Amino acid sequence: MREYTVAIVGIGMVGKEMVRVLQERKFPVQELRILARRERDEEIDGRVYHIVPASVEAFEGVDVAFFAGTEGAKGASQQFGWEAVKRGAVVIDNGQDFRMDPRVPLVVPEVNPEALRDHQGFVANPNCSTIQMVVALAPLHRAAKIRRVVVASYQAVSGTGTAAVRELEAQVRAWAEGRDFPNPEAYPHRIAFNLFPHIGSLSSEFSGYYSEEVKMIRETRKILGEPDMAITATCVRVPVFNGHAEAISVQFERPISPEEAREILREAPGVEVVDDPKDALYPMPIDASGEDLVYVGRIRKDPSAENALDLFVVADNIRKGAALNAVQIAEKMREMGLL
């Protein structure tokens, strides 16, 4: 088995999870280079890793370079991504900079692995909220062709990064101790015991939409190969540490029953159906956190529209929504003889 020189750029929540996933899945790493803004040592699960400053030269001899940006992260792949490709690396970028670039496949391995065949050395990881939605919707789309999607997401603070997790912790601690809430820094409002429909920046392309909502629309169309699919999204930040949830209404071109949808999803890769509402069994972030799968439940007929179903989808946004999906892309490329 060939072994690879692997670089991870960024060692925040996603970068650390990439280290874990590579180890857990026994990806054949000969050498691991972790690059960041400054040189230092970082401990991950009891093991100390030496971090070196990112530079063009640091990509010499690298076979696979993972760029580990979190939601909205920009810059690193813009500065180094194509330079790494020039030096022979395959770049798998978790940031948003090149997702809609026509040169760059946007890939969820369970959904559109065939897109990897056209790669030019650079592959994009979709947004976390998009990944879990398309894993659930793609098998249904293949069976009954989707006409319209309406989604509301409930997104955990880990998607913003470590500072947001600490902010929620500090606010909850202040409340528990009877102190005044500290002023918010990671967010425009207090997140503890609150939520707000604001993720990203206001879009100039879709009036009144924030950028996270636009990502869900545009990325889903690209991944499913449906540039005109009708999609609308409302993305909400909630006081949950980890795990994104989505309430999705889907209208199809033909009738599809909840029973048929459950059967399709039970056979779908990367999906687990958790759908027994009479016993209070349905997907929840607390159960999805730390897990690899996308959980789907509350599958029911939508009485307000023809040929429509409602479902609830939950996944670990740091794992399947970022680190795991990126490593699965590299695994799929090896399997396809592209790496």
Query: Can you read off the two tokens belonging to residue 265?
Result: 């999803």
Distance of CA 285 to the CA centre of its chain: 14
Give catalytic status of residue 244 as yes or no: yes
Give catalytic status of residue 141 as yes or no: no
pLDDT by residue, tens only, the chain of 339 residues:
899 999 999 999 999 999 999 999 999 999 999 999 999 999 999 999 999 999 999 999 999 999 997 544 567 899 999 999 999 999 999 999 999 999 999 999 999 999 999 999 999 999 999 999 999 999 999 999 999 999 999 999 999 999 999 999 999 999 999 999 999 999 999 999 999 999 999 999 899 999 999 999 999 999 999 999 999 999 999 999 999 999 999 999 999 999 999 999 999 999 999 999 999 999 999 999 999 999 999 999 999 999 999 999 999 999 999 999 999 999 999 999 999
Distance of CA 111 to the CA centre of its chain: 14
Alpha helices in 1-93 (DSSP H): 13-24, 76-86
For the chain, list the domains and their CATH numbers. 4-126+322-335 (3.40.50.720), 130-317 (3.30.360.10)
Question: Which pLDDT does position 1 carry in this prediction?
Answer: 82
- Asked if 235 and 213 touch (Cβ cutoff 8 Å), the reply is yes
Question: Which pLDDT does position 72 carry in this prediction?
Answer: 45
Catalytic residue (choose from 119, 141, 235, 244) = 244
Catalytic residue (choose from 119, 128, 141, 235) = 128
Query: How far, in Å, CA of 221 to CA of 215, rounded?
Result: 10
Give every CB contact of residue 93 below 8 A, 6+ residues apart in sequence: 67, 69, 77, 81, 104, 122, 123, 124, 125
Question: Which pLDDT does position 69 carry in this prediction?
Answer: 75
Cα dihedral sign for 294, 89, 160, 20?
A: positive
